[in-house]
Structures are given as structure tokens and as C-alpha cells.
Amino acid sequence: MDIKQHLNDQRLLVETALNTFLPKEEGLLADHFAALRYSLVAGGKRIRPVLCMMTAEALGARMEACMAIPCALECIHTYSLIHDDLPAMDNDDLRRGKPTNHKVFGEAQAILAGDGLLTMAFALLSDDALPDRLSSADRLRIIHLIARAAGSHGMVGGQALDVASEGKTVPFETLAAIHASKTGALITASVQAGAILGGATTAQYEDLTAYGQHLGLAFQITDDLLNVEGSPAELGKAAGSDAARRKATYPGFFGVETTRRKAGEAIKAAVDRLAPFGTTATPLRELARYLLKRSK
Amino acid sequence: MDIKQHLNDQRLLVETALNTFLPKEEGLLADHFAALRYSLVAGGKRIRPVLCMMTAEALGARMEACMAIPCALECIHTYSLIHDDLPAMDNDDLRRGKPTNHKVFGEAQAILAGDGLLTMAFALLSDDALPDRLSSADRLRIIHLIARAAGSHGMVGGQALDVASEGKTVPFETLAAIHASKTGALITASVQAGAILGGATTAQYEDLTAYGQHLGLAFQITDDLLNVEGSPAELGKAAGSDAARRKATYPGFFGVETTRRKAGEAIKAAVDRLAPFGTTATPLRELARYLLKRSK
């Protein structure tokens, strides 16, 4: 299969759905909704929602009526980028080649755009009026696992640890914890949400969870590699920014070659857990391999 | 009944429950959890959780096993205070007489403490392992109404509008919209969550919702009055800060006397909607009257 084409098709589905869920930019809150939209439509690979969709589809589900859940994942990811870019955090002026949210709307409105997107995610996830035929119990399970993955025990905690570790010499265990929680948790949760959407058995859920965990690790490792070696065009921001900030990274611990090998091992471990699945899981396998290639 | 004593008893129940839900300050994330705890245990009247509890109790429910829901409301309120106090927003150094979160933990960690508390609220609300015998469908209804009330169509939107209106001459309609969304929405949602917990009929739900709306308005009006007239000890921060920031307020539009009358009318309208309820709603009535008294 042509994974690049498939990823592009899935990305467009996500972006169309995001547009239907975004409030119109009118009335007293037009500026606030413009700030939400600005970052939500700023592009990106939409990896989290696409993973959720591909996982559900690997189990035979059809996603057309279930788009609120992948869209909620993208809202959470986007809010985290807006807050990470703030002057008090990474102080980034560019994101995906465009001025960051606070550069356009000011710091206060950027904080609120992030808060709004995070909260909107949970409004989407809990909207029982949606035509997705998901049982209330399954919907609750999805909300709970996403909230845990996005919060203090996951993404928010990882970012707190990352900020606190900046400029310090930290042991590898701390870097591993930052990676697992800051990036890995929401990627794993995206796969798990798709597994519930697809009606996974317990064994399938475990395999898919492991796939998500290995993939999440590979994702962060290749991000570290790209940050060392990528061009600003690929990154949408300056290369070498991690080193400039003295952030702990995989290449910093192991060097580029060993890091690349570790990324390959994580991808292999991810793909291995898909062995019990048939051709419906081909997109998940190809996505993992594609991820590895982008860092070479 | 002695409403002050009753409010105090309820407040202590909330604070005990918050303590059980807060993660321990240990491991790599000890500092992050300390930042969450710092603001969550900083006091305050716990009006939102107490309203939720009193409403459920007015319908005959027992709250001992349902504390996750009031606690989630307090997490959301506390996160909003942390973010409102940030330098980019209201830039407050004091909150309830103590240094604000960012003054103690720094701006980045304060943003993340707020993000963590908001997300924790939804993890609490969706935790099906809790012994509250709430059906999954009712739990989803509560999550959805709280997410709507806390997000861009409620509290976050109200704050965005408030920040955007600062220093500008805005029509009364804008002030009314700010009040209704910034404060009123979550207060109303607290009552609505309690109504669902208590198994309200449709008619009861409508009466209680109206009670919450009137009370929310009264709450914001009396807050405006306190800001004009209160002592720093009552406020936990400097009096007159709204005027200094040229924020639109009720006293600014109507003067103190008319504003006080409007607060009284809102309280009366709130209490009137409790007519169908018996003595179990006495705490809700007394709370409304108590609220009015504190502004005199």
C-alpha cells in the first residue's frame, strides 16, 4: 500500500471533521474561536487521530460516524503545543512554519485557546448525541484513559518534568520517563481509544496497547533525531533547539547511530505485536515503518 | 439552621475528599503535585462542590460515596484561578492572602498545574471504579454539562471576553455575557450535576437549573460589590482592583445602591424556584440568603 497517500487521505478526513466541530467565528467570542481555529487547522500529520482511526479500522470498524473521538485527540495535542510554545515554557516563535498562537493572539488569549481546546476535547468525547453507537460504558472508558494519558500522570506531568529538567544533567531514567509520559502516553491512548471503538477483545487490546507504547517511544526517539539533524523546513522551526536549551535527548545519551538503532528496535517491537492481526492492520504496520524512515 | 456552620461542615467534607484524590508528592513528579496541592488546599468557600452536594441532598441523595464529582468541580475552579492569576492575565501576586501559584512555582509550572487540575477533573468524573452507583449514562451527562460550562461556551470564553474587554468601554450586554459565562456557567453546572446525582425529574431539573442561574448572577454581582467595598482581608487581595484595571462591573454601570437591589432580586428569584422543594432544600435557600448578606 502507498502509506503516504493513505496517511494523507486520513489526515483530510480528520481536518474535515475538525471543521464541523469547531464553533463558528461569530458573535462576542469570534476572536477566541479564531485563536482555537488558527492552531487547530495549522497542519501537522494528525498522527494521534489517524492512529485511533487506523486501529479501529484494523478491527473492522467504520470511522465515518465516530470522528468526535479522533478529533478530541487532536484538540488535546494542539492545546499542548500552544501551551508548550508560550514564553514561560519553550518560548517558540514558530510552529509548523507559522507564528505561534501567542505571537498572533497574545499570551493571555493563547493560554485561553489552549484551555478551550482541552475542555472542548472532553465535551466532544462525552457528547452522547453523536451518531457513533458507542455504549455509554465504552465512551466513559475512552474518556478516562484519555484524561489519564493527557494529565499529570501522562502528558502534563511529562512536560512538567521536561521543563524542570532543562539545563540540568539528568539520569537516563528521567529522560525515559519524560518520553513515556510527554509523548508516549497520548499516542498509546490514541491506539487504545481506537481499540475500544473497534470492539477489541482483551488480548487484542493488550497487543494494540503494546504496539502504541513501542510506537510512542519510536516517535519520540525519531523526533530527537530530527531535532539534531533535520532542516528547518522539515521541522517548521530551527534545528538544534533541544541542544541550545540543553534538553536531555536520546542522541545526547547514546549518539546518533545507537539512537537510530534503538528507534529501529522499537519499530520492530511495535510491528511484532500486530502479528495476530490480518491485512486490516497493514496501515498500522506501514505507519510504523514510515515513521522510522522519516528520521533517515 | 446555622448556615455558616453547615457551610463549614460541607467545606471540610470537600477538603477531606480532595486530599484522598490528590496524588502523593513523591517520585519524579513531586514538585508538580506540590504545585497542584498548593492551590487546591489554599482554602476558599468551596461554593461549587458544596452547591453540588446540597442540591443532591435536597433530592434525598447521600453524598458520602459521590465526592469525586464535587471534587472535580473544585479542581476546575482552582485551575481557572491559577491561570487567571498569571502575569499574562490578571497578574495577581496574592490569592486568598497567599502568594499565587506562579509566584511560588514559577510561570511554566503554574500553567502546567492548571492544565493538570483541569485534566484531573475529567479523570475523576469518568472514573467508573468509584463506588457512587451512578449509571454510565448519567455520568456522561454530568461530564458533558461540566465540559460545556467550563469551556469556550462557558468559563474559558467568559475569561477570554473579560481579558479582551479590559480597559475598553463595553455595552452592558457584554458585561452580562461575561458574568453569565465566566462565573454563572460553572455555578449552574454544579447545581445541575447535583440534580443528576440526586435523580431529579425533568421539572425538578429545570427549577434547580434556574436556581443555579439566578444564584450565579447574584454571586458575580456581589463579587463586584465586594471588589468595590471589601477590605483586603475579606478579599485576600487588594480592594478596588477591578476599577484599577478598568474592568466593566455592575457598580460601574448602575452604582452601588441599584447593584445591591439587583443582587437582592436575583437571590429572591433563585429562592422562588425552590418553592416546590421541602425542607431538604433549606440549605440551598439559606446559602442564597447568606451570599447576599456577605456583600452588605
pLDDT at B293: 84
CB distance A160–B116 less than 8 Å? yes
| Least Cα separation, residue A140 to chain B (angstroms) | 6
pLDDT at A296: 54
Task: Identify all chain B residues contacting A36, using CB atoms and an 8 Å cutoff.
Answer: 152
Cell of residue B40, nine digits:
487546591
Beta partners for A95? A98
- Minimum CA–CA partner of A119 in chain B: B151
Task: Identify all chain A residues contacting B119, using CB atoms and an 8 Å cutoff.
Answer: 118, 147, 150-152, 156
d(CA B40, CA B78): 6
Least confident of A79-88, A130-139, A248-257, B260-269: A130-139
Task: Identify all chain B residues contacting A128, using CB atoms and an 8 Å cutoff.
Answer: 137, 140-141, 144
Percent of chain A with pLDDT over 70: 93
CB distance B152–A36 less than 8 Å? yes
Average pLDDT over residues A269-283: 97
- Residue A244 pLDDT more than 90? no
d(CA A29, CA B289): 33
Cell of residue A11, nine digits:
489526515
Displacement of CA B63 from its chain's centroid (Å): 18
- From the list B36, B118, B128, the residue facing A119 with the nearest CB is B118
Q: Based on the number of CB atoms within 10 Å of its own CB, is A168 exposed (0-12), middle (13-18) or buried (19 or more)?
A: exposed
How many pairs of residues across A and B have Cβ atoms under 8 Å apart? Answer: 164
Residue B49 CB neighbours (<10 A):
29
Please name the helix (run of DSSP H) or strand (run of DSSP E) that holds residue A3, with its range, or none: helix A3-21
d(CA A56, CA B49): 38
Beta partners for B95? B98
Cell of residue A58, nine digits:
484494523
Least confident of A75-79, B131-135, B270-274: B131-135
- Residue B57 pLDDT more than 80? yes
- Minimum CA–CA partner of B87 in chain A: A108
| Least Cα separation, residue B231 to chain A (angstroms) | 28
pLDDT at A295: 60
pLDDT at B243: 64
- Residue B189 pLDDT more than 90? yes
Give the length of chain B. Answer: 296
pLDDT band at B167 (very low <50, low <70, confident <90, very high): confident
At CA B123, angle to CA B121 and CA B128, rounded to 5?
125
pLDDT at B134: 87
Task: Identify all chain A residues contacting B88, using CB atoms and an 8 Å cutoff.
Answer: 106-108, 111
Question: Which residue, among A290, A282, A238, has the nearest Cα to A58 in the 3D structure?
Answer: A282
The string of pLDDT tens digits covering residues A4-58 is: 999 999 999 999 999 999 999 989 999 999 999 999 998 889 999 999 999 999 9
| Least Cα separation, residue A33 to chain B (angstroms) | 8
- From the list B32, B89, B139, the residue facing A111 with the nearest CB is B89
The string of pLDDT tens digits covering residues A148-203 is: 999 999 999 999 999 999 888 899 999 999 999 999 999 999 999 999 999 999 99
SS3 state at B237:
coil
- From the list A118, A139, A153, the residue facing B115 with the nearest CB is A118
pLDDT at A236: 54
Task: Identify all chain A residues contacting B150, using CB atoms and an 8 Å cutoff.
Answer: 119
- From the list A31, A120, A147, the residue facing B126 with the nearest CB is A147
Task: Identify all chain B residues contacting A107, using CB atoms and an 8 Å cutoff.
Answer: 88
User: To which residue does cell 446540597 refer?
Assistant: B54
Average pLDDT over residues B181-197: 97
Give the length of chain A. Answer: 296
Q: Which structural domain, as residue segments, surrounds residue A90?
A: 3-293
Cell of residue A173, nine digits:
531514567
CB distance B119–A29 less than 8 Å? no
pLDDT at B241: 63
CB distance B119–A156 less than 8 Å? yes
Task: Identify all chain B residues contacting A118, using CB atoms and an 8 Å cutoff.
Answer: 115, 118-119
Residue to test with chain B: of A21, A89, A115, most B Cβ within 10 A: A115
- Minimum CA–CA partner of A82 in chain B: B111
- From the list A123, A139, A157, the residue facing B148 with the nearest CB is A123
Please count the structural domains in chain A: 1
Predicted TM-score (pTM) of the model is 0.95
**C-alpha atoms less than 13 angstroms from C-alpha of B155 in its C-beta half-sphere:** 29
Task: Identify all chain B residues contacting A33, using CB atoms and an 8 Å cutoff.
Answer: 152
The string of pLDDT tens digits covering residues B246-266 is: 678 899 899 999 999 999 999
CB distance B161–A28 less than 8 Å? yes
DSSP alpha helices (H): ranges in chain B? 3-21, 30-40, 47-58, 68-85, 101-105, 107-125, 136-150, 155-165, 172-179, 185-197, 202-229, 232-235, 241-244, 250-272, 282-293
- Residue B13 pLDDT more than 70? yes
Task: Identify all chain B residues contacting A174, using CB atoms and an 8 Å cutoff.
Answer: 28
CB distance A23–B152 less than 8 Å? yes
Least confident of A96-105, A263-272, B159-168, B286-295: B286-295
- From the list B108, B123, B140, the residue facing A128 with the nearest CB is B140
d(CA A112, CA A103): 14
Cell of residue B127, nine digits:
472514573
Question: Which residue, among B276, B179, B272, B161, has the nearest Cα to B219 in the 3D structure?
Answer: B179
pLDDT at B292: 84
CATH number of B181's domain: 1.10.600.10
SS3 state at A67:
coil
CB distance A163–B31 less than 8 Å? no
SS3 state at B153:
coil
- From the list A29, A125, A136, the residue facing B152 with the nearest CB is A29
The three-state DSSP-derived secondary structure of chain A is CCHHHHHHHHHHHHHHHHHHHCCCCCHHHHHHHHHHHHHHCCCCCCHHHHHHHHHHHHCCCCCHHHCHHHHHHHHHHHHHHHHHHCCCCCCCCEECCEECHHHHHCHHHHHHHHHHHHHHHHHHHCCCCCCCCCCHHHHHHHHHHHHHHHCCCCHHHHHHHHHHHCCCCCCHHHHHHHHHHHHHHHHHHHHHHHHHHCCCCHHHHHHHHHHHHHHHHHHHHHHHHHHHHCCHHHHCCCCCHHHHCCCCCHHHHHHHHHHHHHHHHHHHHHHHCCCCCCHHHHHHHHHHHHHHHCCC
Residue to test with chain B: of A119, A153, A161, most B Cβ within 10 A: A119
- Minimum CA–CA partner of B174 in chain A: A28
CB-CB contact of B146 with A120 (8 Å): no
Task: Identify all chain B residues contacting A82, using CB atoms and an 8 Å cutoff.
Answer: none
pLDDT at B63: 81
CB distance B126–A107 less than 8 Å? no
Average pLDDT over residues B100-124: 98
CB-based contacts of A28, cutoff 8 Å, min separation 6: B161, B174, B177
Task: Identify all chain A residues contacting B148, using CB atoms and an 8 Å cutoff.
Answer: 123
Percent of chain B with pLDDT over 90: 79
Task: Identify all chain B residues contacting A23, using CB atoms and an 8 Å cutoff.
Answer: 152-153
Please name the helix (run of DSSP H) or strand (run of DSSP E) that holds residue B94, with its range, or none: strand B94-95
Question: Which residue, among A22, A129, A20, has the nearest Cα to A78 in the 3D structure?
Answer: A22
